[in-house]
Amino acid sequence: MSVYQDIKIAASDGVCAVIGPMTPALFEKNCARFIDGFWVTIELILLASVIGLGIALVTVLARLSGNPILSTIAYIYTYVFRGTPLLVQLWIFYFGIGGLGEEGLGPILWAFFKDGWNVGLLVLTLNTGAYVAEILRGGLVNVPKGQMEAALAYGMTWLQAMRRIMLPQAFKIAWPAYGNEVILLLKGSALISTITVLDLMGQTRTVFSRSYNLEIYLYAALLYLLLAGLITFAFRRIESRMAG
């Protein structure tokens, strides 16, 4: 972990040494902070989108499994996480559950909940998992029913048919919507700055509280736009490859 931290610090120093002189003075002065926060944001959305996708897969399988208990649990999970604001979810987990303290949570849970980064990752993952599950469900509904029937007639089990026939096609249909969801995740991730995480938004707010200069927010906006642009670009590239 510490080697990784060293690499991150070296990387942000390097980036700032190169781009620093080209940027406005206010940015150059706080460059290391911006780049550090930028990394934290990238790490979180990468982890949350990958783990969230796993949760979404399990959820959508549970939802469509035909088992009333599993499907009800999956329904309630997606309904609650899509029906309440992300900020409320973050505060319930961090200030609410985390606020129970070591005596309320026990040493293991407390070790997890006392760190805003952990809670932020957990909530972002659960939140995006619920949205992606709905997106995948939409994709699955649009795969012709006959495909499932044919797969079952070939002797595949329901899970095999899902994994080999239905989900790959659903994924292809849902891909653009999934790309949008990753952008929403990126934008939503700014809210973890309210639970003490120094992501890009957290660093920006720290710098702003010292300088009270609005330019700071514009620089942060540009960095977010850059990241959103990169994500959009990557998704379009993969989409055209899938089509070809």
Partner 1 sequence: MELLGIGPGGWGDDLLRGAWVTVQLALAALSLGLVIGLAMAGAKLSSFRPLNWLGAGYTGFIRGTPEFLILLLVYFGSESAVKSLLAALGLEIDFEMPKFLAAVLGLAVIFGAYACEVFRGAFQAVPKGLMEAAEASGMSPWLAFRRVRLPMMWRYAIPGLGNLWMVMLKDTSLAAVIALDELLRIAKIAGETTRDPLLFFFAAGVLYLIMTALSDYGRHRVEQRARRGMPA
Interface with partner 1 by CB under 8 A: which residues?
80, 83-89, 91-92, 95-97, 99-100, 183, 186-191, 193-194, 201, 204-205, 208, 214, 217-218, 220-221, 224-225, 228-229
Which residue, 72, 53, 66, is CA-closest to 152?
Answer: 66
Of 19 and 221, nearer to partner 1 (C-beta) is 221
Least distance CB 221 / partner 1 (angstroms):
5
Alpha-carbon gap, residue 126 to 185, rounded angstroms = 11
Extract the tokens encoding 238: 């993969």
Q: How far is the CB of 234 from partner 1 (least distance, A)?
A: 14
Nearer to partner 1 (CB atom), residue 128 or residue 189: 189
Q: Is 208 exposed, middle or buried (0-12, 13-18, 19+ CB in 10 A)?
A: middle
Shortest approach of partner 1 to residue 5 CB, angstroms?
Answer: 26
In whole angstroms, the minimum distance from the beta carbon of 62 to partner 1 comes to 21
**Pair of tokens at residue 48:** 């949350």
Residue with Cβ nearer partner 1 (85 or 144): 85
Look up residue 66 and give its DSSP letter: S
Q: Which two tokens stand for residue 93?
A: 């987990």
Nearer to partner 1, 52 or 188 (CB): 188
Report, in Å, the least distance between residue 167 CB and partner 1: 25
CB 13 within 8 A of CB 33: no
Nearer to partner 1, 14 or 99 (CB): 99
Instruction: Answer left, alpha or beta for residue 157, where phi above 0 means left and psi between -120 and 50 means alpha.
Output: beta
